[in-house]
Amino acid sequence: MASPFSAQTQQAGLNIVVLDPAHGGTDPGARGTGGIRESEIVLDFVIQVRRALELQGFQVVQTRQGNENPSFDDRSATANAQRGAVFVTLHISSTGLPGTVRVYVNSDLPTVADSNGLIPWERAQAPFLGLSRKFGDLVQGYLTPRFKGSPDAAQSASVRQLRTTAAPAIAVEISSVTVEDRADLDRMAPGVADAIARGAAAFKPSYVVARTPGVLP
Amino acid sequence: MTSRWKFRLIGGLVIAVLAAAIYFPILRRRVKHAARLQQQSEEQARRELTQPIVINPGDPRVKTKVFWASDTIDSTLVPVTVELPLSNDPVLRSKQVLNTLLAGPVDAELRTLPPDALLLAFYLLPDGTAIADFSEALATSIPSGIVSEQLAVDSIRRTLEANVPQVQRLKILIHGQEVETLAGHLDLTGTFVVSTNPAQPPTKPSATPSGADKPASPAADKPPALAPGTLTPDKAPGKLAQPERKP
């Protein structure tokens, strides 16, 4: 007979992707000369990314559905409430070579726990940096052949949104709002969506975590 | 009945006009006063800011590395060597090199910092932590995005690293305040590692800086090296503490 506590030793795999369309509400993010707003475009991108992920069998959770602007912590809280999830925040930059895409993982953070064994919220990303790097490199690896001029590997940056996220987490930034025609950006969406979905699928076998109550992820 | 309502309406209008006549001049005076105060404080701040950094003619002219954006490789920095009379005092020296960085190249494409940004103050703590306080323009005029914000901070960090060996870490303030991000992306709540070398007296700034290609890293005095290819959390994490909520 199975122990009622046997669930404590079960392994859980990656099955949820939390998508974060950056900015929103009163914060439009980067703005282009042609009236392009980052907050609007990322929401459109997310629709395609979501569809691509669902085709790969992932459940998708979004940090915002419409034109609202949750705080950094609220967005992280959405991700941190999941088990077996990865986090992807989507951005459009103001600069950079148009038509390129960069993946970022958080810069190094010291792994610390307070005296109660709790992970400080402010450094929730710290235990996941290795996983985030692996996930980021995979996604960048699928993006670079499609978007010439993009880096070969994920970059490190102190991205605020990633720091409080207790899951493998990456930021994907598309260049840029300076394109003359918004259609140039729209044409990138299917490629970006496919690369993220393929990256998540490739990352899935690597991400096996203990499902122990009270332990993250 | 009708005339009674008319009387009330006219009375109400008269009261409203009288109230406006009394209140509007007061409001106008207050607005003018507030505008004058703001202008005075801005002028005062600008006067303080534009005071030239004291340059001692006796200071030796040294080759100084300033990090600008590359004109050949997208979103990367390149060191540009300029000859400057630099002080041996690390605080004064830091101000001199950062003001040179802020003055920037003529070509706007090579700038990493907004042309209207100013260095308001610079402090160096005994443990090697530098605090650089910039004007609001650094946050409001910089192009929004991870890549541009990272380039800005990296240019500050690497310019200090190449020229002021006493600076170990960097904290960036905007108008005297800690801010959450530079322009919506880059985390400014922590400190950025400038150099992992122990503090030392000034040396020739043309010396090769150590770790010049390191990415900026906040809140990491000596970040632990991560095993490459790690596929599980580095340490079995415990429960997650909840964020502090401000009332």
Q: Supply the CATH classification number for the domain A12-121+139-209.
A: 3.40.630.40
For residue A124, the chain B residues in CB contact (below 8 A) are 240
pLDDT score for B176: 97
Same domain, B72 and B186: yes
Question: pLDDT digits over A126-169, tens only?
Answer: 999 999 999 999 999 999 999 999 999 999 999 999 999 999 99
CA closest to B109 among chain A residues: A95
B39 and B67 inside one domain: no
Residue A159: which of B187, B221, B235 has the nearest Cβ?
B187
Beta bridge partners of B130: B124, B170
Q: Does residue A199 register a pLDDT over 60? A: yes
Is B233 close to A127, i.e. CB distance below 8 A?
yes
Measure the CA–CA gap between A172 and A134, rounded to whole angstroms.
14
Q: Containing domain of residue B94, as a range?
A: 61-193
Residues B65, B187 share a domain: yes
* Token pair 């003359």 in the structure block, residue: A180
Q: What is the pLDDT along chain B (247 residues), one digit of tens a residue?
A: 578 888 888 888 888 888 888 887 778 777 765 665 565 455 445 545 554 555 677 788 999 999 999 988 888 999 999 999 999 999 999 999 999 999 988 788 899 999 999 999 999 999 999 999 999 999 999 999 999 999 999 999 999 999 999 999 999 999 999 999 999 999 999 999 998 776 555 444 333 333 333 444 444 333 333 333 333 344 444 456 555 544 3
More confident residue, A9 or A167: A167
All residues at 6 or more sequence positions from A83 whose CB lies less than 8 Å from its CB, including other chains: A12, A16, A211, A216, A217
User: Over 70: is that where the pLDDT of A31 sits?
Assistant: yes
DSSP summary character for residue B113: S
User: Using CA atoms, how far apart are residues A159 and A157, in angstroms rounded to an integer?
Assistant: 6
In a domain? residue B234: no
Dist CA A203 CA A139 (whole Å):
9
Asked whether residue B83 falls in the same domain as residue B40, the answer is: no
Give the Cα separation of B136 and B117 in Å (integer).
7
- Report percent pLDDT > 90 for chain A: 75
- Could you tell me if B95 and B126 lie in one domain? yes
Mean pLDDT across chain A, nearest whole number?
89
Residue-level pLDDT at B237 = 44
The residues pairing with A106 across neighbouring beta strands, listed in sequence order, are A157
d(CA B148, CA B74): 11
B240 belongs to a structural domain: no
Chain B nearest CA to A80, separation (Å): 8
> What would the 3-class secondary structure string for A145-180 be?
CCCCCCCCCCEEECEHHHHCCCCCEEEEEECCCCCC
CB distance A93–B192 less than 8 Å? no
Using a pLDDT cut of 70, give the percent of chain A over it.
88
Cis peptide leading into residue A158 (ω within 30°):
no
Cα–Cα nearest to B116, from B100, B137, B95, B136: B137
Domain assignment present for residue B189? The answer is: yes
DSSP B202-247: ---TTSPPTTTTPPP-BT-SSPPPPPTT--S-SS---PBPPPPPP-
Question: CA angle at residue B89 from B45 to B159, to 5 degrees?
Answer: 75
Interface of A with B in 107-166 (CB under 8 A): 107-111, 113-114, 116-124, 126-131, 133-134, 149, 155-161, 163-164, 166
> Rounded to whole angstroms, how far apart are CA atoms A67 and A39?
8
Residue B97 lies in a domain: yes
Whether residues A215 and B220 touch (CB distance < 8 A) is answered with no
Of the residues B174, B193, B212, the one at which a domain ends = B193
* Residue B199 belongs to a domain: no
Please say whether the dihedral angle defined by the alpha carbons of residues B61, B63, B67 and B71, taken in this order, is positive or negative.
positive
- Clarify whether residues B26 and B112 are in a common domain: no
Of A11, A14, A64, A21, residue with least CA distance to A199: A14
Domain count, chain B: 2
- Strands, E, within B86-178: which ranges? 119-124, 129-134, 169-174
Higher-pLDDT residue of A124, B28: A124
B73 and B143 housed in the same domain: yes
CB distance A103 to A155 below 8 Å: yes
CB atoms < 10 A from the CB of A162, how many? 29
pLDDT of residue A204: 95
Q: How far is A49 from chain B (nearest CA, A)?
A: 20
Of A73, A127, A160, Cβ closest to residue B237: A127
Query: Phi first, then psi: what are they for A194, rounded to 5°?
Result: -65, -40
pLDDT grade, residue A70 (50/70/90)?
very high
Is B25 part of a structural domain of the chain?
Answer: yes
Residues B201 and B225 sit within 8 Å (Cβ to Cβ):
no
Ordered strands of the B192-193 beta sheet:
B119-124, B129-134, B169-174, B192-193
Residues 184-213 of A with CB under 8 A from B: 206-210
**Quick check: A157 and B150 in contact, CB under 8 A?**
yes
Q: Is residue B215 part of a domain?
A: no
Residue B188 shares a structural domain with residue B68: yes
**Residue A11: Cβ within 10 Å count:** 9
Q: Is residue B149 located within the same domain as residue B170?
A: yes
Kindly list the residues from chain A whose CB atom is less than 8 angstroms away from the CB atom of residue B189: 122, 160
The residue of chain B with its CA nearest to that of A135 is B231
Give the residue with greater pLDDT, A108 vs B232. A108
Please state the pTM of the whole predicted model. 0.76
DSSP B118: -
Residue A89 forms beta bridges with which residues? A20, A171
Reading the block at residue B123, the tokens are 């402090």
B102: which DSSP letter?
H
Residue A216: its chain B contacts at CB < 8 A? Answer: 237-240
Quick check: helix, strand or coil at residue A129? helix
**Would the pLDDT of A54 be above 80?**
yes
Spell out the domain ranges in chain A. 12-121+139-209
Q: How many CB pairs under 8 A join A and B?
A: 181
pLDDT higher than threshold 60 for residue A32: yes
At residue A209 the predicted structure's pLDDT band, cuts being 50, 70 and 90, is low
CB–CB contact B235 A127 (8 Å): yes
Identify whether B113 is part of a domain. Answer: yes
Encoded amino acid at B231, one letter? L
Q: How far apart are alpha carbons A187 and A32 in whole angstroms? A: 17
Shared-domain flag, residues B92 and B121 = yes
Q: Which residues of B162-190 are buried (b: 16+ CB within 10 A; e: fewer)?
A: bbbbbbbbbbbbbeeeebebbbbbbbbbb
